[in-house]
Amino acid sequence: MSCCAPGAEAALEFCLPLQASPSDEEIVLASRTLGEGFMQTDLAVPGIHCAACIHAIEKALLKLPDVRRARVNLSTRRVSVTWREGRVPPLIQTLNRLGYEAHLFEIVAGRKDEALGRLIRAVAVAGFAAGNIMLLSVSVWAGADGATRDLFHWISALLAVPALAYSGAIFYRSAWRALRHGRTNMDVPISIGLALAFGLSLYETATHGAEAYFDASVSLLFFLLVGRTLDHAMREKARSAVSNLRNLSPRGATVIAADGSREFRPLSEVMPGTRVIVSAGERIPVDGSVVEGSSEVDCALVTGESTPRPSTVGDGVQAGTLNLTGPLVILATASPDGSFLAETARLMERAEEGRPRYRLIADRAAALYAPLVHSAAFLTFVGWLWIAGDWHYALQTAIAVLIITCPCALGLAVPMVQVMAARRLFEKGILMKDGSALERLAEIDTVVLDKTGTATTGELHLLHAEHVDPALLATASLLAAYSSHPYSRAILRAAPRVDSGSPGIASIKEVSGCGMEGTAGDGAVYRLGRPSWALPDERHGSSEPHLVLARNGRMLAGFRFDDAARPDAREAVERLKAAGLAVEILSGDHPEPVRRIADTIGATRWRAGQLPADKVRRLSGLANAGRKALMVGDGLNDAPALAAAHVSMAPATAADIGRNAADFVFMRESLLAVPQAFETAVRARTLVWENLAFAASYNVVAVPLAVMGHVTPLLAAIAMSLSSLAVVANALRLGHARQNPISAGVGRARRSGFGKALGQT
């Protein structure tokens, strides 16, 4: 049976709905040429919800002639189809026949999430009705009888009707669509249970019966909608990662025409061979090579390098990097769709598609649990109808089975622990964005750290400042005060106060792409900048300092810069290693600073010069070797790796795309957030299994009693509520649990084999 979830039929924020199916010409225009005679078409399919949907869609599309590949991205509800050029396959028609509405995929910036709004309104209506009906039910349970009881039942019915009609429509529509196309999903038994409970309750009320079950049916609807809303919100977080990555690219660029005139054009019109002007402070729109000007380019967002990269005529630049100090004229070498930024977005989408279709423990249990429960209820009805010949009693007993086995306790087993874990993590300055990530975090055996901005603070500092003459450092700060360059800010942080011994420097100016220059009262020219500019008469090598201070072309001092490790980074790594986790660093920076940071924090493995694709390959290699890795990164270059990892984490200082791609975000400077989150995840996993064991034991005892007719629907509702309260109470232990040292608690769990057993579930 499919486990499709409803409620996203209106989630069309990533597509432009069309009144009719697009023509073959429109599909070709919206497709991307891959070369070798193949094209790729991206379709938005809002009705995708689960692994069964993915299997059905991919299987049907792959049967079409000339279709080479079909991949579904569950996070974005997007289908990518690769087909041979020539006759366009009937892609949309095929999906429509399966019961899935499909459109050409197109990003729509800033579109309101109408589906989430509908879900929130449905939760509000169901919650209001459930709360008030429960208050009336307490009076009935307390002994209200006769006309008073009937009045309370009718008021409950009046409250339940709009709630079940409005809020329950999300389930009814999904169930009807599935049945109409010859499929079934989890919403079919849910809809049947809601309808039967309400129908029998209405019959009991009309015939002055002693029991009605409006409270059970509306409360069940409320809990189901809460879970559905949280699931939808988590999926939106996953979608926003790629969307924000694409939004990082400028909307257009200033182009130099053949006659020398300048014109601002949309980025889609900037083709290879076009000359583009990029002013200081602007982000580079396309991949290209510099044909005029010199500047320094901040590549930290793309490559993770902590130091700006000098760029002059002949140097290549990449889309998404930031031009810092001077204007550049760039000759575009790739179209916007073929740029580094676009390729990074595609890498991330492929990583999302390739991530295992992970399901929560409760979802996996419910896939077996739901059909058994509803089969038991149906057989109970048939059995008592045959034995007693009383359809009313048979139906009442069957509904008691449905209610007492209602998966509220099972449904709360995971979410309540997640809520408490989220609170516990928040107290430690860690935000959890994806509920399933908590389960995945407890399974890891490897931690992969980015360097710049993750293992380090991301803020440059002056190396060996204590060995620099304070007077020369003060002189350098006089020039650095007039610049916003990262090197200048690092010098100002390290410089002492300027004293009377410092030379008076005037006429300070910035030479674009080179550094700062000023003239002293005696006519001497001071320069703070690139060695090749400040020392024009000297030969230069690869080991020269990043920045020099010179007087009349003669070197006075050299300065080198690097990141500082995060506070407690070494302690964090030691705690992770003590828990049996392997720790390594993957960085796009040069080998020397990577090695220095690895030695500082105690990481035993490190790799430098890693591009985004290299990081994804490394994580894929770990996965193929059976390892489950936590990726901790902060830059644009880390986004595909964050999406590809088993679970991911980013600091609050990360780029927007890094934060959105990560499952966890830690707000404080300390890297201790990583072992703290791991410890909480392991503890939460234990509580989840305790809750699931209790829910299973409860049903083992309760179901036979209900089937034998010893439980009325009222007692069933009470038992169901008590089981839910027990699960909640157990989850609350996470908020008050004594925090054991991670090396002890986790070590015991691993040595007992419990963790291995959980990983196989």
Lookup result for tokens 């049996």: 580
More confident residue, 759 or 210: 210
DSSP state at residue 455: I
532 CB-contact burial (10 Å; exposed 0-12 / middle 13-18 / buried 19+): middle
Q: How confident is the model at residue 377 (pLDDT cuts 50, 70, 90)?
A: confident
Helices 146-166 & 214-247, crossing angle to 10 degrees?
20
Lookup result for tokens 């809750």: 691
The Cα–Cα gap between 693 and 68 comes to 45
Show me where the domains of the chain are located.
24-104, 252-338, 418-455+565-676, 464-559
Q: Say whether domain 24-104 belongs to CATH 3.40.50.620.
A: no
Q: How far is CA 415 from the centre of its chain?
A: 18
Q: How confident is the model at residue 202 (pLDDT cuts 50, 70, 90)?
A: confident
* C-alpha pair distances (Å), 367 with each of 1, 4, 87: 8, 10, 41
pLDDT recorded at residue 628: 93
Q: Which of 719, 226, 243, 638 is nearest to 452 (CA)?
A: 638
The Cα–Cα gap between 348 and 461 comes to 32
Fold of 418-455+565-676: Rossmann fold (3.40.50)
Read off the tokens for 225. 């909608």
pLDDT recorded at residue 741: 35
Q: How confident is the model at residue 664 (pLDDT cuts 50, 70, 90)?
A: confident
180 CB-contact burial (10 Å; exposed 0-12 / middle 13-18 / buried 19+): exposed
Q: Contact 642/661 with Cβ under 8 angstroms?
A: yes
pLDDT at 447 over 90: yes
The least confident of 49-63, 267-281, 554-568 is 49-63
Return the top range by mean pLDDT from 235-244, 247-256, 620-629: 620-629
* pTM of full prediction above 0.75: no
- Report the helix count and the strand count for the chain, using DSSP H and E: 26, 28
Residue 681: what residue type?
A: A
Please name every residue paired with 666 in a beta bridge, in sequence order, or none if there are none: 430, 651
The least confident of 63-77, 426-440, 535-549, 726-740 is 726-740
Percentages of the chain per state (helix, strand, coil), in multiples of 5: 50, 15, 30
Residue 588: what residue type?
A: G
Q: Contact 277/327 with Cβ under 8 angstroms?
A: yes
pLDDT recorded at residue 598: 92
* C-alpha pair distances (Å), 211 with each of 141, 262, 702, 703: 9, 80, 20, 20
Average pLDDT, integer, range 315-343: 81
Average pLDDT, integer, range 272-285: 86
pLDDT recorded at residue 427: 75
pLDDT recorded at residue 500: 44
Q: How confident is the model at residue 437 (pLDDT cuts 50, 70, 90)?
A: confident
The least confident of 19-28, 45-54, 299-308, 722-731 is 299-308
For the chain, percent of residues with pLDDT exceeding 90: 10
pLDDT recorded at residue 33: 74
Give the model confidence (pLDDT) of 466-492 as tens digits. Answer: 888 888 888 898 888 888 787 888 898
Fold of 464-559: Calcium-transporting ATPase, cytoplasmic domain N (3.40.1110)
Please name every residue paired with 272 in a beta bridge, in sequence order, or none if there are none: none
pLDDT at 558 over 50: yes
Residue 332: what residue type?
A: A
pLDDT at 542 over 70: no
Q: Which residues are catalytic?
A: 450
More confident residue, 445 or 715: 445
pLDDT recorded at residue 13: 34
pLDDT at 278 over 80: yes
- Mean residue pLDDT of the chain comes to 76
Q: Which of 131, 417, 107 is nearest to 251 (CA)?
A: 107
**Helix, strand, or coil (residue 549):** strand
pLDDT recorded at residue 528: 93
Average pLDDT, integer, range 483-503: 73
pLDDT recorded at residue 747: 39
The Cα–Cα gap between 233 and 113 comes to 10
Q: Quickly count: other Cβ atoms within 10 Å of residue 40's Cβ.
A: 16
CATH code, residues 252-338: 2.70.150.10
- Sheet containing 262-266: order of strands: 262-266, 252-256, 275-278, 328-332, 288-292, 316-317
Q: Contact 460/561 with Cβ under 8 angstroms?
A: yes
**Helix, strand, or coil (residue 384):** helix
Q: Contact 300/356 with Cβ under 8 angstroms?
A: no
Give the gyration radius of the chain's Cα atoms.
32
Give the model confidence (pLDDT) of 165-195 as tens digits. Answer: 998 888 888 778 777 777 666 667 677 777 8
The Cα–Cα gap between 381 and 385 comes to 6
Average pLDDT, integer, range 318-322: 80
Give the model confidence (pLDDT) of 519-531 as tens digits. Answer: 987 889 999 998 8
